[in-house]
């Protein structure tokens, strides 16, 4: 069964958003208190909290658009931080939309026409674009030691 790319994108976006929101809430309700209880009030945890308080939305946008870390792990990890639920949910939905659209469009084309030279070319271009995004993120991200000092001070 092949849905039109727009319908498939909307259904996938709804499912991904609900899934990420539920994972976030589960971590927030069950994991945050346990983390604070077992990890205690450490300098590292305080630095992470300050960083999320200052730049949480920017960091979330970066980690969603450049898929270096699995979304499932991110959903739970952000639930352990102080980022607001609605900011997390809205940013997650908006930043996963481009990838979901590309996957759905390519799957629709694959179901319609099979593996063709044009499909392989589009897949290669998508891979190169992803590689470029990862490299750009590495170039523009400050060194982690500098970032840690900034949040601790």
On average, the pLDDT of the chain sits at: 82
pLDDT beyond 90 at 131? no
Q: What is the pLDDT, as a whole number, of residue 75?
A: 93
> For residue 151, what pLDDT band results from cuts at 50, 70 and 90?
very low
In tens, the pLDDT along 54-84 reads: 878 888 888 888 767 888 989 998 998 889 9
Q: What is the pLDDT, as a whole number, of residue 81?
A: 86
DSSP letters spanning the chain = ----HHHHHHHHHHHHHHHHHHHHHHIIIIIHHHHHHHH-S-HHHHHHHHHHHHHHHHHHHHHHHS-SS-HHHHHHHHHTSS--HHHHHHHHHHHHHHHHHHHHHHHHHHHHH-S-HHHHHHHHHHHHHHHHHHHHHHHHSPPHHHHHHHHH-
pLDDT beyond 90 at 1? no
Query: Span 131-139, mean pLDDT?
Result: 74
């Amino acid at each position: 069964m092949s849905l039109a790319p727009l319908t498939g994108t909307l259904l996938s976006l709804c499912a991904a958003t609900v899934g990420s929101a539920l994972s976030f809430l589960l971590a927030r309700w069950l994991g945050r208190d346990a983390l604070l209880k077992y990890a205690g009030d450490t300098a590292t945890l305080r630095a992470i909290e300050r960083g999320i308080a200052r730049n949480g939305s920017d960091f979330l946008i970066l980690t969603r658009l450049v898929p270096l870390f699995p979304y499932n792990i991110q959903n739970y990890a952000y639930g352990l931080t102080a980022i607001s639920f609605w900011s997390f949910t809205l940013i997650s939905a908006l930043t996963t939309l481009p990838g979901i659209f590309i996957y759905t469009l390519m799957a629709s084309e694959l179901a319609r026409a099979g593996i063709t030279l044009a499909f392989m070319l589009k897949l290669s271009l998508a891979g190169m674009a992803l590689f470029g995004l990862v490299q750009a993120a590495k170039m523009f991200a400050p060194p982690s030691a500098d970032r840690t000092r900034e949040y601790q001070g």
